Chain A
Amino acid sequence: MNLRRFLLRKAVSVIITIFFIASLNFFIFQILPGDPTRVLIPRGGTSNVTGQGLRQQLIHEWGLDLPVAQRFVIYFSNLIQGNFGTSITYRPGIPVLDVIKPRLITTVIMVGIATALTAWFGAIMGRAAGWNRGRPTDVAITMGGLVGYSMPTFWISLVLLFVFAVELRLFPVQGETSLNYRNLDPLGQVLDRAYHLVLPVVTFVISNFAIFTLTLRNSLTDVLTEDYMTTARAKGLTDRGQLRYHAMPNARLPVVTVGAFYFGWVLSGAILIEIVFGFPGLGRLQWDAVLNLDFPLMSGIFLVATLGVVIANAVADVLYIVLDPRVRET
């Protein structure tokens, strides 16, 4: 397989997908009845002369009086220049991208750490379940995974908060940092952030590890019936050696694909975790945007979240090639 050609094709398909997503994002907000000015000008405000004039002025300023096709072109040329529009109610006048950026970093850090831990924990559980298929260990792990997956994310957050923050007072109830964050030394600041991350990350792991565990379990049971596994056993390899050198390299491939496939799902759970834990990330921002009916902000967040998933999928595709031993050795 020609790696360079593969990467090129991947890049082209990503760009095409991004184009369609941006178009969807543009047109979906065209379905809205009326126009965004009604959010800014109170109900009935358009009946008096000032209200009407202000509305006309805004419509003109925002270019809402232009034909849709022209607006579509403007929207795209703005996007390419990194202009995602301007927040209208949540932070009036501030570019959407500037509102999103700090929140995005918070979310990326949280989701990044949590995904890594989930994959690690899920893989350990999946390996144990797959190796012991049909035995009590397998049943316990599979059931545990299904239960974790079946709990609504925000409810896990509530229960963990109730037990560990409200009743036992072991962890903070809200926020990303403590009140005295600014007075802490750098190491203290990192520790403080980590301390606030514990419950959200645990919620994330409980709710998502089943995705990795069940996939790995199933692909491992497939791999274990292969002839080369019999050979490995016949060679006298220990269980550990069989798993490590023969079963796992092939079994973990589907996990990468499935992991990427569920990334959108995982991200959606993160939104709810952020809301319950008062974590100032992208999810919390979307909640605020919805409450304030800030359409440009909503549209910007939706676009950024979707881009995140598209890029994660592309990375997973590349990772698949890199991890596949059959490809690597040629």
Chain B
Amino acid sequence: MDARVVRERSSLVWEKLETDLARFRKFLRSLLRNRIALAGLVVVAFFGVLAVVGPVLVGPYPTTFDKDDPLLEPSDRHLLGTDIQGFDNLVILVYGSRISLIIGLVSASVAMVVGTLIGLVGGFYGGALDQMFARFTDFFLVIPWLPFAIVLSVILGPGLTTTITAIAIVSWPTTARIVRSQVLSLRERLFIERARAIGAGNGHILFRHILPNVMPLVFAQAILTISVAIFTEAFLSFFGLGPPGTISWGKMIEDSWSALALLRGMWWYFGPPGLSITLVVLGFSMLSYGLEEVLNPRLKRR
């Protein structure tokens, strides 16, 4: 390849990169101008930072040596009191943010990859394959999510992998359905026909033309799935089916409930973890809501 062609090609790549970057900046600006999305982003960022730098603030992961008397009231030593085992509630709360966010991110990623692939392939190729995938998706959609996750957790045995698997299995169908319907309409568009006319193969069209166009949708859906995953983890932990030996917000609420914190009036025990879950889920929901307003051209028009 002679130098001139290389130069031309690289300048083309640069041009593409620049327009992409400009588009991304424009998107980011309109996202940040959306107050709901901005507020959601702030809340999520707060908990993200807390999960990362938390240990600096509250000290290392608590061990048996850090135990105090159980069920103490809030004091200078323990700002949120102590739990049923004598651990400091604030420390538990901060470490709980890690497990909730990790489970949320990992299981949502798995669900997104599976859901997007099934929706993409089914919607694009159509025919019997699509029919099969669509039935398969619909089938998993009707299965009520919590009973199914509970049964899966009982059968696979509680553990981090089980929790993530259970969440991924119950949350991929929504994505698959959304992606499929989007692909069905994209497939008929002119630019796909154009790509085909200049000799592009199926794989190229699928990953270079269709996938980039469904990504914004998948992204909004992923954020929603993260909040569902955080919810599910809390529910499973509350059922006593969460990963054993880990600290999580759901487990904390379950502990406070079985320690009768309610009847003892210990609002500082069951209050903060529930509030944290609410804030994180709210943050992600607001972000997703804002994203939809920004990405959906039909809503923008008004």
Contacts and interface: CB of A to CB of B under 8 A. Distances in A.
Interface of A: 17, 20-21, 24, 28-29, 31-32, 133, 146-147, 149-155, 158-159, 161-162, 166-167, 173, 221-222, 225, 261, 263-265, 267-269, 271-272, 275-276, 286-287, 290-291, 293, 298-299, 301-302, 305-306, 308-310, 313
Contacts of A308: 144
Given A155-B277, A264-B143, A302-B148, A31 B235 contact: no
A147 B271 CA distance: 15
A40 to B, nearest CB: 16
A286 B146 CA distance: 11
User: For the complex, would chain B's binding face be called helix, strand, loop or mixed by DSSP majority?
Assistant: helix
Interface string B239-265: 111000000001001000100001101
A290 B302 contact: no
A324 B203 CA distance: 41
Q: Which 3 interchain pairs have the tightest Cβ spacing?
A: A268-B146, A155-B274, A264-B144
B154 A264 contact: no
B227 A290 contact: no
Nearest to B177: A261
B151 A276 contact: no
Interface of B: 138-139, 141-148, 150-152, 154-156, 227, 231, 234-235, 238-241, 250, 253, 257, 262-263, 265, 267, 270-271, 274, 277-279, 281-282, 285-286, 289, 298-299, 302
Nearest to A149: B285
A162 B278 contact: no
A276 B263 CA distance: 13
B285 A150 contact: yes
A133 B302 contact: yes
Contacts of A298: 150-151, 154
17 contacts: A17-B138, A28-B152, A28-B155, A147-B278, A151-B274, A153-B235, A154-B235, A154-B238, A162-B267, A221-B302, A267-B146, A271-B146, A271-B147, A290-B241, A298-B151, A305-B147, A306-B142
User: For the complex, would chain A's binding face be called helix, strand, loop or mixed by DSSP majority?
Assistant: helix
Contacts of A21: 139, 142-143
Nearest to B157: A33
Given A146-B282, A150-B282, A155-B270, A32 B155 contact: yes
A275 B146 CA distance: 13
Contacts of A264: 141-145
A28 B151 CA distance: 9
Given A149-B285, A154-B238, 13 more contacts: A24-B143, A32-B155, A146-B282, A149-B281, A151-B278, A152-B235, A155-B277, A158-B262, A158-B270, A225-B302, A298-B154, A299-B151, A301-B147
A155 B146 contact: no
A35 to B, nearest CB: 13
A28 B166 CA distance: 13
Contact of B143 (A147, A162, A222, A306): A306
A158 B144 contact: no
Contacts of A290: 150, 154, 239-241
B144 A305 contact: yes
A158 B286 contact: no
Contacts of B138: 17
Contacts of B240: 290-291
A89 to B, nearest CB: 13
Given A133-B302, A152-B234, A287-B239, A267 B144 contact: yes
A275 B282 CA distance: 24
Contact of B139 (A17, A31, A263): A17
Contacts of A301: 147
Contact of B144 (A32, A173, A268, A287): A268
Contacts of B239: 275, 287, 290
A152 B278 contact: yes
